[in-house]
Amino acid sequence: MRLQVLLRLLQIQRALVRHGLDDFVRATHLYRPFRFLVLLSPWTWFQRSRGVTRGERLRLALEELGPIFVKFGQAVSTRRDLLPIDIADELARLQDRVPPFDGTTAIATVEAAFGRPLGDIFADFQATPLAAASIAQVHVATLKSGEEVIVKVLRPRMREVIELDLTVLEALAALAEEYWAEGRRLRPMEVVAEYRKTITDELDLLREAGNASQLRRNFAGSNLLYVPQVYWDYCRINVMVMERIHGIVVSQIDELRARGTNIRKLAENGVEIFFTQVFRHNFFHADMHPGNIFVQVEDPENPRYAAIDFGIVGTLDPRDQHYLAENFLAFFERNYHRVAALHVESGWVPATTRVDELESAVRTVCEPIFNKPLKDISFAHVLLRLFETARRFEMRVQPQLILLQKTLLNVEGLGRQLYPELDLWNTAQPVLRAWMRERSSPRAVLRSLRQQLPDALESLRLMPRIANVAVRAAADGEFRLPIRSDEVNFLRAEMRLGARRREAAVAAGILWLSGLIWLVAGPSYRSAGWFVMATAVALFMLRRRHRNASSV
């Protein structure tokens, strides 16, 4: 696996060079002394994308590198305010126009999943896909009972491809956590672990079908969002069948306006849907790029969203949910002291943080953006200032909130495209206040007590037995309290770091130099032999380093 990771890293770099994105490679610190070799290489001159725009080169590189990179491009594409127009337009094509795989492969996958010929399952099945995405593609079909449906089919070998890229991310995160000054605060290993759970869940289409059913129940009878019906009898781990819906893709603003759509109401409904999902339902669609969102305009004055692709959903721990809601409300009211105090109470910043200093820093960043429409707010600037504030106060990244932050950026990006004059604050505030009132109402308190009463009674019943066992253990001298020392763990980590820093640096240098020679010279016998030899030496040293670290 380690050799596969190293080869994958070189594949990534070669793909960037092949598509004319040399700057990304040459910006790497280890390559700067050898930049002239890359520039002089005939392989760099002739074997690269030509006659295409920079945005297209970037899109093609992401498509070649696979689903994780495609998803990155999808997420970035929603922020047209932060990207040049040509790049934003090209990355938007990743939302539903990724190159499809062959229709015969899709048919074989469906037949294998059901163990029956296609004609026994569907009255009609269109082999040409309707749309293709990074993880799966969809085909239009008709059930024997006559309903028009969408059949979602997982791409071949997705698990192997994604597992390799996740291993690459974990290796890079481990290096960052050990050798980067900000590593411990930003917790890259935990961030990658959280992403691993998210992307692995997306590979299970039965889980996605369950997510769709839950979201459909949450918005049953709602005029805000429509969720298509899942046909459970036709769902398998790599095949999912659901109702086909019709609508206008949310990014087609001109078409929406031509239909007389109330754009302002549509934008405000999007904000309300997001906050309703996060706080009232605690179950939110976390992949809200434009390719997954349609608008139904049968009644243009009351447009309704329709969502698809439920592979990524998010939930929050009740404690995080409470602190987030309190932070939002305090922020809307410009109560920066409360914002600072909540960050300390929640443990997002060290307990020793001075609340008054954090309050002043938050005020400095946030005060200029109030009472302004989206078109007048530079969120890129605000985010950079907030990151600087976080670094100053040693604010640790909260991996469990990253999915929510990504979704909020997507929602804000959609709102900016639809209706730049949208007042984000006044639209979200009533939803949050209503949820807080419901949460603290006597009915909600009684409901919570009723739900917790059986557990409380069971704990009371077991209390005498637990106390008796503890007393006997203490009398026999066997009573132990587990002690966890972060300081001891820190010292051990520092010892391991010192023991392997020298060997890791030498191994990394050999590996990267061999990769450079391979990149410049091309896949000749000589460069291939050098690469294999250097990789073997590097792997031997890494293995030795691992053994030494294990003995510390």
Nearest of 113, 79, 154 to residue 379 by alpha carbon: 79
Share of the chain above pLDDT 70, in %: 67
Task: Taking residues 516-522, report their average pLDDT.
Answer: 47
Asked if pLDDT for residue 28 goes beyond 60, the answer is: no
- Is 276 buried (19+), middle (13-18) or exposed (0-12) by CB count in 10 A? buried
| DSSP H or E stretch at residue 274 | helix 263-275
State residue 143's pLDDT score: 96
Euclidean distance between CA atoms 162 and 203, whole angstroms: 10
Question: Any idea which residue has 């049953």 for tokens?
Answer: 220
Euclidean distance between CA atoms 280 and 292, whole angstroms: 22
Q: Per-residue DSSP letters for 70-85?
A: HHHHHHHHT-GGGS-H
Where would I find the H helices in 19-66? Answer: 22-26, 35-40, 42-46, 54-65
Contacts of 335 (CB under 8 A, 6+ apart): none
Per the prediction, the chain carries an average pLDDT of 75
State residue 212's pLDDT score: 95
Nearest of 60, 292, 67, 69 to residue 159 by alpha carbon: 67
Euclidean distance between CA atoms 117 and 111, whole angstroms: 6
Contacts of 348 (CB under 8 A, 6+ apart): 323, 395, 396, 398
Q: Which tokens belong to 547?
A: 């053994």
Angle between helices 355-366 and 336-345 in degrees, nearest 10: 130
Contacts of 123 (CB under 8 A, 6+ apart): 142, 143, 144, 146
State residue 79's pLDDT score: 56
Task: Taking residues 40-62, report their average pLDDT.
Answer: 65
Contact indicator for 289, 77 with CB cutoff of 8 Å: yes
Lowest-confidence pick of 249-263, 275-289, 522-536: 522-536
Residue 285 backbone phi and psi in degrees, to 5: -65, 120
Q: Which tokens belong to 272?
A: 């309300």
Share of the chain above pLDDT 90, in %: 23
Asked if pLDDT for residue 475 goes beyond 80, the answer is: no
State residue 107's pLDDT score: 95
Euclidean distance between CA atoms 398 and 443, whole angstroms: 32
> Which pLDDT band, with edges at 50, 70 and 90, does 36 fall under?
very low
> What positions carry a catalytic annotation?
287
Q: Which tokens belong to 355?
A: 């609340």
> Which pLDDT band, with edges at 50, 70 and 90, does 552 fall under?
very low
**pTM greater than 0.85 (yes/no):** no
Euclidean distance between CA atoms 215 and 77, whole angstroms: 25
Beta strands, E only, 78-237: 122-125, 131-132, 136-143, 148-154, 225-226
State residue 146's pLDDT score: 94
Q: Domain residue spans in the chain? A: 2-95, 158-200, 248-440, 488-551
For residue 196, CA distances in Å to 177, 192, 202 come to 17, 6, 10
Longest dimension (CA), the chain: 83
Euclidean distance between CA atoms 499 and 321, whole angstroms: 42
List the beta bridge partners of residue 240. Answer: 152
State residue 164's pLDDT score: 80
Task: Taking residues 340-367, report their average pLDDT.
Answer: 84
State residue 95's pLDDT score: 60
Q: Which of 152-161, 325-334, 436-445 has the highest mean pLDDT?
A: 152-161
* CA trace torsion 386, 387, 388, 389 (10° rounding): 50
Q: Work out whether the CA dihedral 537, 539, 543, 549 comes out positive or negative.
A: positive
Nearest of 342, 357, 367, 345 to residue 393 by alpha carbon: 357
Contact indicator for 353, 359 with CB cutoff of 8 Å: no
Q: Which of 118-127, 496-505, 518-527 has the highest mean pLDDT?
A: 118-127
Residue 101, helix vs strand vs coil: coil
